Amino acid sequence: MDPLELVKDFIHKISTRDVDGLADLMTEDHLFVDGMGTEVRGRETMRTGWASYYKMIPDYRIIAGRFFRDGNTVGIFGTATGTYSKDGRLKPENHWEVPAAWLAEVTGNKIAHWQVYADNEPVRQIIERDQQEFNS
């Protein structure tokens, strides 16, 4: 499969919250790096990680605007959007949207490396506000 088409499929699976589909597109030693630089390695670890993330941000999705390909490396520029929820309810005041970029490295028709470049501060602020309201 063409690396660009594979990355587009991966983004579709992220945006439709298809955890098993995501895992199927990852190498066994897949490396995920979040916007804070935290590294997580392993397809099964990431399967669990994505499932947990979707509980916290049930409507997370990527809106890809531009793609750049250099061999088996693909750069994506767009927007990340979602709504923080600790109970499954999507409150409008907990919605966020940030410009973001992603780097994907493809090995043997699988995503070997997925890295996010985004400012997580809006999400952190929503979580902090929600926790303060809960503790009040």
Exposure string over 13-31, b if 16+ CB within 10 A, otherwise e: bbbebbbeebbebbbeebb
For the chain, give every domain's residue range: 3-135
For domain 3-135, the question of CATH label 1.10.10.10 is answered with no
Tens-digit pLDDT string for the chain (136 aa): 899 999 999 999 999 999 999 999 999 999 999 999 999 999 999 999 999 999 999 999 999 999 999 999 999 999 999 999 988 889 999 999 999 999 999 999 999 999 999 988 888 899 898 887 767 6
pLDDT for 34 equals: 95
| The token pair that represents 64 in the structure block | 């890809």
Is the separation of the CB atoms in 2 and 17 below 8 Å? no
pLDDT for 111 equals: 98
